[in-house]
Amino acid sequence: MRTSVAVIFQSLMIATAIIGVANGQGVFNDGCYCAETLTGDWCGNRTCLAENGITFDMDVAHFYHGVTSGGLERHFTYAGHGDYVTNVDFGKLGVQEGLFLKVRAEHRFGETINPSTGAVLPATVLADLPVADSEDLMLTNVLFTQFLNERTAVFFGKLDTLDGDANAFASGRGKTQFMNSGFVVNPIALRTVPYSSLGCGFLIMGEGGEPLFNYTIINPRDTANRAGFDELFADGVAMSAELRLPSTFWGKPGHHLFGGTWSSRDYVALDQDPRVIFPEVAINETQGSWSLYYNFDQYLYTDRCDPSKGWGLFGRAGIADDKANPIAYFLSLGIGGNNPYCGHRNDTFGLGWFMSGTSDQISPFLEIPLGPIGDGYGVEMFYNCEVTKWLNISPDVQVLMPARQEVDPALVIGVRAVMQL
């Protein structure tokens, strides 16, 4: 029963793809692999809906990764993640100008390699979302946004936070750029901000339509697998704020993001969170927690024909309250972007290093089930190849040095395939 909804949904997608191909709207449209999505234009209905304010962005990501040396177990596993997003523009529908609705349904399936590495940060974080031990289809976003003018908007509803801490070369929800949690977001903020819960806030847009500042108030408990209305703010409140400033060093675009989180929740144990891997152990009771973080991206090269493509440097840093947060500080650096060679400019690559500092206040509690604890380190390298407009395949190599000192460094090798439906 737990997989029935997801299986039915995927079956419908496959059936739609077959119908699209049969009608010349899918994979082999115009005799080549040029369709933007696997299921095509749905006999013209997809374009018609988009013109009237309703768009569908759907994909399925497949992960086949293995620990080839070190770690806790040496084997390969297969896992996947389905992401189905619907956006509604009520202005185009003639209902309310400036009102938008975003609905995200997602599920995971298979067995991930994450527990086998021995590392704190998951090697393929997306494959464990939204809930690591469930394959049910879940609503993690039902978010209304109302623009008050061209640059200011308010939002409310259920929202997921994986798109926060945006970075040009190290974000992408774990399906378009890096896969390790340490390069998708800054893990320093994950203790205070849940993956998906009810909340509200406002945002201010900058020049060029990019978010400049956003402020969010959210329920501090994760409710990805339930509505959450009956427990709204029962355990306190969590807040986050981010300011992302554009820059133009050396005449090339870049960004500097400054963020902070705070929660009034009482912390008495480490929660089971798919974005980090810690045992559920009791800790000293602490009221409230906070984190501060920073990231930057800076292009060193941009394509003359398409300035949105290029490559450059990125980095992250953060500190947190070490009484409640098992990660006291975090650092990462790397390089990423698009392949500059003609014919491969839609391909992307990345090479990054991170260090995750374990809290001295919490490590004694972790040493009981895990043994001696130190700091964790990791390196990841990937190349994302656009095989067709709807299919990207990414070979991936990671070397993870777990915080668990009795566990040898894990060499993780694998591949990711993402299909746009």
Under DSSP, is residue 54 helix (H, G, I), strand (E, B) or coil? strand
Q: Alpha carbon of 418 to those of 3, 126, 162, 175: distances in Å? A: 21, 12, 18, 7
Give the domain-ending residue among 12, 34, 51.
Answer: 51
Residues 315 and 356 in one domain: yes
| Residue 167: predicted pLDDT | 97
Residues 141, 21: Cα–Cα separation, whole Å: 31
| Residue 5: predicted pLDDT | 45
Q: Which of 262, 80, 244, 228 is nearest to 167 (CA)?
A: 244
191 φ/ψ angles, rounded to the nearest 5 degrees: -70, -35
Q: Which of 396, 26, 413 is nearest to 175 (CA)?
A: 396
Confidence of residue 134 (pLDDT cuts 50, 70, 90): very high
Burial class from Cβ neighbours inside 10 Å (0-12, 13-18, 19+) for residue 32 reads exposed
Instruction: Provide the H-helix boundaries in 273-386.
Output: 363-370
| Residue 85: predicted pLDDT | 97
Q: What 8-state DSSP symbol labels residue 373?
A: B
Q: What 8-state DSSP symbol labels residue 53?
A: T
| Residue 155: predicted pLDDT | 98
| Residue 152: predicted pLDDT | 96
Would you state the structure tokens that stand for residue 170, as one six-digit string?
């190290």
Would you state the structure tokens that stand for residue 84, as one six-digit string?
């189905």
Under DSSP, is residue 47 helix (H, G, I), strand (E, B) or coil? helix
In sequence order, what are the beta bridge partners of 201? Answer: 155, 216
**C-alpha triplet 156, 159, 165: angle, nearest 5°:** 110
In sequence order, what are the beta bridge partners of 153? Answer: 147, 203
Residues 6+ apart with CB under 8 A from 130: 106, 107, 108, 138, 140, 160, 195, 196, 224, 225, 274
User: Among the listed ranges 72-76, 305-309, 335-339, 358-362, which one has the minimum average pLDDT value?
Assistant: 305-309
Residues 27 and 123 in one domain: no
Confidence of residue 9 (pLDDT cuts 50, 70, 90): very low
Residues 189, 240: Cα–Cα separation, whole Å: 9
Contact 204, 146 (CB under 8 A): no
| Residue 255: predicted pLDDT | 96
Q: Which of 282, 389, 350 is nearest to 35 (CA)?
A: 389
What is the Cα Rg of the chain in Å? 21
Is the pLDDT at 64 greater than 80, yes or no? yes
Sign of the CA dihedral with 171 first, then 281, 260, and 332 last: negative
Q: Which of 179, 222, 184, 221 is nearest to 330 (CA)?
A: 184
Residues 316, 178: Cα–Cα separation, whole Å: 14
| Residue 349: predicted pLDDT | 97
Would you state the structure tokens that stand for residue 225, as one six-digit string?
């697998």
Residues 33 and 99 in one domain: no
Residues 78, 57: Cα–Cα separation, whole Å: 24
Residues 174 and 27 in one domain: no
Number of domains in the chain: 2
Residues 47 and 57 in one domain: no
366 φ/ψ angles, rounded to the nearest 5 degrees: -75, -30
In sequence order, what are the beta bridge partners of 242? Answer: 214, 259
Residues 21, 41: Cα–Cα separation, whole Å: 10
pLDDT tens track for 357-408: 999 999 999 999 999 999 999 999 999 999 999 999 999 999 999 999 999 9
Confidence of residue 47 (pLDDT cuts 50, 70, 90): very high
Residues 6+ apart with CB under 8 A from 253: 246, 247, 299, 302, 307
Residues 283, 268: Cα–Cα separation, whole Å: 5
**Chain mean pLDDT for the chain:** 91
Beta strands per DSSP E along 90-224: 99-110, 138-147, 152-160, 196-205, 211-218
| Residue 271: predicted pLDDT | 84
Q: Alpha carbon of 349 to those of 130, 335, 340: distances in Å? A: 26, 8, 11
Residues 154 and 10 in one domain: no
In sequence order, what are the beta bridge partners of 287? Answer: 266
Instruction: Say which CATH number the domain at 108 has.
Output: 2.40.160.180
Residues 270 and 324 in one domain: yes
Residues 109 and 192 in one domain: yes
| Residue 33: predicted pLDDT | 55
Residues 217 and 143 in one domain: yes
Would you state the structure tokens that stand for residue 55, as one six-digit string?
């768009």
DSSP-assigned letters across all residues of 270-299: ----TTS-----EEEEEEEEEEEEEEEEEE
Is the pLDDT at 208 greater than 70, yes or no? yes
DSSP-assigned letters across all residues of 204-217: EE-GGG-EEEEEEE
Give the domain-ending residue among 21, 36, 51.
Answer: 51
Residues 230 and 353 in one domain: yes
Domain that residue 36 falls in: 1-51
Residues 23 and 128 in one domain: no
Residues 99 and 173 in one domain: yes
